[in-house]
């Protein structure tokens, strides 16, 4: 959520900056509601002052032994007026908040301006895509050769956009999780947390999924819980309604969870294989930092995700997302895109974002400045470190041979009982 004071004092500038995201601010409605809020607030304060004055008059009249019936009646009338004004002010503020909740974050000045992913800017590349002496297969065909990746049975059990893994491939999936968790906790200084996979609406509001993106979520109406779309939601909400001492910063969490997404806006996209599913797993990185450190933290967090790909020797590139392609809550985002030989293209495997104070304002997540002793809003960041399913796809396709054998990257072999490859049936 943007700072309401920023919108009140700099609305034309906010409108201009958000236009670069393709978002149109209803500035006329905002202005009208803000004017009504101020007027109602002024009238409320006037009534409060009048009530205070008359209450003092009652005290003076009583001291003189005078009849205070009329004064008491006038104070009661003012109290009724104040109750009505309170209801009116709450209604105006609620309507104003609904508008504010729908407004995305303002892009950082370093974010490239653009309308779609075609205007994203490549920052760097690592590794060279391998040249195969045969037409490389995609992960679906490779999985079918070994019978270890089974979509038909998953459809029978549940439906489309689900997968079933068996044997060595299931173990490889687990190995990736263990490898990433160990790397981030032992070398990058993150604290591992285990969190609920269902959250309440307050948590989803805090990180920006509600109210705008309710259609993308799996909702359990009986308990009013939601399946998490990403570990970002429960992990970041650890700081909700909390004040963290400055010496405890930065807070760095890593968490492995399943993720559940309805993919409501992805009809017809990536229907083949494991690229876009209703259920998948991620190792998520979350940082809570002082505002003056957040862009340094973004570079570091992105580097932590990159290290996973480098240790697995998977070619990738880093893209700076343009204003029109960023997520709702983000002020700046880097996407890591891994090379997939089966598709002959780079595909997103991680998004690393700085939300500045946008989420913290919604969550009331704060830190205490030791100089002023006052609480201030934190800056929050997160990134996939990495998406497990897509990493598995990348390993399968980059480490295949012509017969369908999949070789195990050296970094994963200790987690695979020193197995060096997976043979097709």
| Binding site members for L-serine | 230-232, 261, 284, 382, 384
Given 21, 37, 161, 261, the catalytic residue: 261
Is 348 a known active-site residue?
yes
Is 54 a known active-site residue?
no
Given 351, 353, 361, 362, the catalytic residue: 351
Given 320, 348, 368, 405, the catalytic residue: 348
In this structure, what token pair is assigned to residue 266?
Answer: 């992805």
In this structure, what token pair is assigned to residue 319?
Answer: 């893209």
Is 201 a known active-site residue?
no
Given 8, 174, 276, 405, the catalytic residue: 276
Is 390 a known active-site residue?
yes
The binding site for ATP consists of 261-263, 348-351
Given 171, 361, 366, 390, the catalytic residue: 390
Long-range contacts of 214-220 (CB under 8 A, 24+ apart): 215/262, 215/264, 215/265, 216/261, 216/262, 216/263, 216/264, 216/265, 217/260, 217/261, 217/262, 218/260, 218/261, 218/262, 218/278
DSSP one-letter string for 322-343: -GGGS-TT-SEEEEEEEEETTT
How far, in Å, CA of 149 to CA of 385, rounded?
23
The binding site consists of 230-232, 261-263, 284, 348-351, 382, 384
How far, in Å, CA of 140 to CA of 157, rounded?
19
Q: Which residues contact 191 (CB under 8 A, 6 or more apart)?
A: 185, 251, 252, 253, 254
Is 345 a known active-site residue?
no
65 SS3 class? coil
366 SS3 class? strand
| Active site (catalytic) residues | 261, 276, 348, 351, 390
């Amino acid at each position: 959520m943007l700072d309401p004071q920023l919108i009140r004092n700099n609305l034309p500038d906010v409108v201009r900056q958000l236009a670069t995201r393709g978002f149109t601010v209803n500035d006329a409605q905002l202005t009208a509601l803000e004017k009504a809020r101020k007027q109602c607030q002024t009238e409320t304060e006037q009534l409060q002052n009048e009530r205070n004055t008359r209450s003092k008059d009652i005290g003076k009249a009583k001291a003189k032994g005078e009849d205070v019936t009329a004064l008491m009646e006038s104070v009661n009338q003012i109290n009724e007026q104040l109750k009505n004004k309170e209801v009116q002010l709450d209604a105006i503020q609620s309507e104003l908040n609904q508008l504010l909740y729908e407004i995305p974050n303002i892009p950082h000045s370093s974010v490239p301006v653009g309308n779609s992913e075609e205007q994203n800017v490549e920052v760097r590349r690592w590794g060279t895509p391998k040249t195969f002496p045969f037409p490389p297969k995609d992960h679906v065909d490779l999985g079918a050769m070994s019978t270890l990746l089974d979509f038909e049975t998953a459809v029978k059990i549940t439906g489309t956009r689900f997968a079933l893994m068996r044997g060595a491939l299931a173990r490889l999936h687990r190995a990736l999780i263990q490898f990433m968790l160990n790397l981030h906790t032992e070398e990058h200084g993150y604290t591992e947390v285990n969190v609920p996979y269902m959250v309440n609406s307050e948590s989803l509001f805090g990180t920006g999924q509600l109210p705008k993106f309710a259609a993308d979520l799996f909702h359990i109406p009986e308990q009013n819980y939601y399946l998490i779309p990403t570990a970002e939601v429960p992990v970041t909400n650890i700081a909700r309604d909390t004040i963290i001492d400055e010496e405890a910063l930065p807070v760095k969490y890593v968490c492995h969870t399943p993720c559940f997404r309805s993919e409501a806006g992805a009809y017809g996209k990536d229907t083949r294989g494991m690229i876009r599913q209703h259920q998948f797993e991620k190792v998520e990185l979350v940082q809570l930092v002082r505002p003056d450190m957040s862009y340094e933290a973004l570079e570091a967090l992105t580097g932590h995700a990159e290290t996973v790909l480098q240790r697995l020797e998977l070619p990738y590139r880093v893209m700076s997302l343009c204003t029109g392609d960023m997520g709702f809550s983000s002020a700046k985002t880097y996407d890591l895109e891994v090379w997939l030989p089966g598709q002959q293209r780079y595909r997103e495997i991680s998004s690393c974002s700085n939300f500045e104070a946008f989420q913290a304002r919604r969550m009331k997540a704060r830190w205490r400045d030791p100089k002023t002793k006052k609480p201030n809003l934190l800056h929050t960041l997160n990134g996939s470190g990495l998406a497990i399913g897509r990493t598995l796809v990348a390993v399968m396709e980059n480490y295949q041979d012509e017969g369908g054998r999949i070789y195990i990257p050296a970094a994963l072999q200790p987690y695979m009982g020193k197995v060096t490859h997976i043979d097709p049936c």
